[in-house]
A and B are shown apart, each in its own frame.
Chain A
Amino acid sequence: MKNFSEAAVIKSDLMLDVNLVISPRGGDTYCQIELNQKVLFVGLVSEKTNLNAKIPLCDPLYLKFFVKRTHPQAIHIDLLTVDGREVLPLYLNQASPPTSYLDFTGHWELSIPNFYTWYHEITGQGWIA
């Protein structure tokens, strides 16, 4: 980017790479995963599954799981990265409920309004002017 006008042009093309790794526990488990209201996965999770998506740089990141299971089934979120930066399990406390072991029937979600500003704050980079 040579100057601001180039930044303004490039901005709309910049994307975040979202990578999600999940695996079943206690048998095949039904799950629906949405990223920003788009279905990323739906069905039975029967093995370790790697899911990738791109979202526009400045879009909020809203990840939602719906799990339907019976005992002892569960979904485990092994890893969530954005642009290669670990989000889960490192910042599990940001999720609702704050767990990566989804051994319940119901919803789990993670909401990040602006990824890099959030990442700045959560990694302790100091106050924003």
Chain B
Amino acid sequence: MLRDHFCSSPWFHLRINPNGGYAPCRWDFSLRNSGKNIRDTGLLEYFNSEEMCGLRNSLLHGEATLTCQSCHYEDGQNKVSGRQRQLLKSAIDVRNFDKTFCSSPHYEIFKHSYEHQGKTSKLPVDLQIDLGNTCNSACIMCHPMFSSRLQDEYIKLSAIEPNLFFVPARSHNWADDPVLLEKFINDLEKIPDLKYLHFLGGETLYLKSFYNICEKLIERGIAKNISIGTTTNGTVYTPKLEKILTEFKHVHLGLSVESMHDINDYVRWPSKISDVRSNMQKFLSLRDKYNIQVSLRITPTIFTVYHLDTIFKYMIENNVIAESCNILQDPRSLRVELLPDDLRQTVLEKINKVINQYNLIDPCQSIVNRRRDDLIGPVISQVVFEYRNFLESYQTPATATADREELVKFIRAFEKLHGNSILDYLPEYEKFLRSCGY
């Protein structure tokens, strides 16, 4: 059905991965290689490539695609998915799909693509640019493609647990190449209505290319007409950021963190939550000083979910929303859905305690556009209720027993490298983990 599967994102969005490979969507976590790279293919050429046209065609035929898998899972869990948020950029509301689709300002553009095998004359105006994988963290739920530190660790981990960890290919940051960067900026200049660039890494604020690209956008006069966003792990703060953000039309800053508890250090190794907390306050000061938007980007795992209440309290007390990136599906052994029933109940009790303590009310209607300053309170409430509802309703995977055993092997391999133990951070998990062979 069109209502269940259609997404307008491929008509205005694309993504460049850290190695320069193109991907059709920021929410495509399949990490498939499109075979097209900024080294050999221009931005606008890729936009009408076989892959993009094929995806548009499938969507117009109401088909479910692998690219859209994570959004469909979120839709199924009644969370606001990336698909819903992208549809909104075409003024399409899934709750009133037929009418808003047919009256969308992009309807004629969809029609053109339907009649021309998925091709479009519209230009991409919302890009996600992964500049490279240079990162100071090795978060255990991340992928080596997005972290140089994790890439190094995977080489060692593959020797410890070869069935779980692969030897990653060396990644080369495309944005470190000044010729490619110039080519990219030239391509951007061909998009007169460019609206939004979201930069990711690696750790964006750690990447020189982030500052280079921003300076070039400022020099060329593009900056003042566009909004930019970036997501940081909160371990880096630099005053350089302050200079940059005043030059853009609007700036959005996402902070990746799921818990204000020490468990964040275990999962987002080797960060220190005390440093992250201190930087978060600096970012919030920037928000207040320059009117930028700051949100938390939360992707809870089976471990951080236990202290998710701490992040909810932080959100409420600091008036900052969270945008859930996705419900973590990979690595599969870190999925929240593998929680045993007793821990699941404890997590629910803790979330309910937050709801009661702060008198949160579930907004009666889903808020899809979460970046509204006037709706921070309701959005926070909605995020809290979404997670509560998810925790109440998810189905434990049929493969849970095997996945939990895999979880133990997975963390034991990391612990050999990091010299730590999950039980020092989450003693409450001892019975559960021991029962799985820890």
Contacts and interface: CB of A to CB of B under 8 A. Distances in A.
B91 A3 contact: no
B11 A3 contact: no
B4 to A, nearest CB: 10
Given A116-B99, A120-B91, A129 B2 contact: no
B98 A5 contact: no
Interface string A44-55: 000000000000
Nearest to A118: B91
B100 A7 contact: no
Interface string A6-24: 1110110010000000000
B90 A14 contact: no
A127 B195 contact: yes
B153 interface: no
Interface in A114-129: 114-117, 120-121, 124-129
A1 B90 contact: no
Interface residues of B, number: 39
Given A14-B98, A125-B368, A129-B11, A3 B103 contact: no
A58 interface: yes
Interface stretch (B104-112, B129-137, B300-308, B353-361): B104-112
Nearest to A59: B103
B125 interface: yes
Contacts of B431: none
A121 B212 CA distance: 35
B114 interface: yes
Given A8-B111, A117-B103, A126 B89 contact: yes
B102 interface: yes
Contacts of B114: 4-5
B360 to A, nearest CB: 22
A71 interface: no
Most buried by A among B8, B62, B374: B62
B11 to A, nearest CB: 7
A6 B1 CA distance: 10
B88 interface: yes
Interface string B351-384: 0000000000000000011011010000000000
B2 A7 contact: yes
Most buried by B among A2, A4, A117: A4
Nearest to A115: B103
A115 B100 CA distance: 9
Given A8-B111, A127-B89, A129-B13, A14 B61 contact: no
Interface in A28-63: 57-58
8 contacts: A3-B2, A4-B110, A4-B111, A57-B102, A116-B93, A117-B91, A121-B91, A128-B91
Given A14-B98, A125-B93, 18 more contacts: A1-B3, A1-B62, A1-B98, A5-B114, A7-B98, A7-B101, A7-B102, A14-B102, A116-B91, A116-B93, A116-B99, A120-B88, A121-B91, A124-B372, A125-B368, A126-B369, A127-B89, A129-B90
Interface of B: 1-3, 8, 11-13, 60-62, 88-91, 93, 96-107, 110-111, 114, 125-126, 195-196, 368-369, 371-372, 374
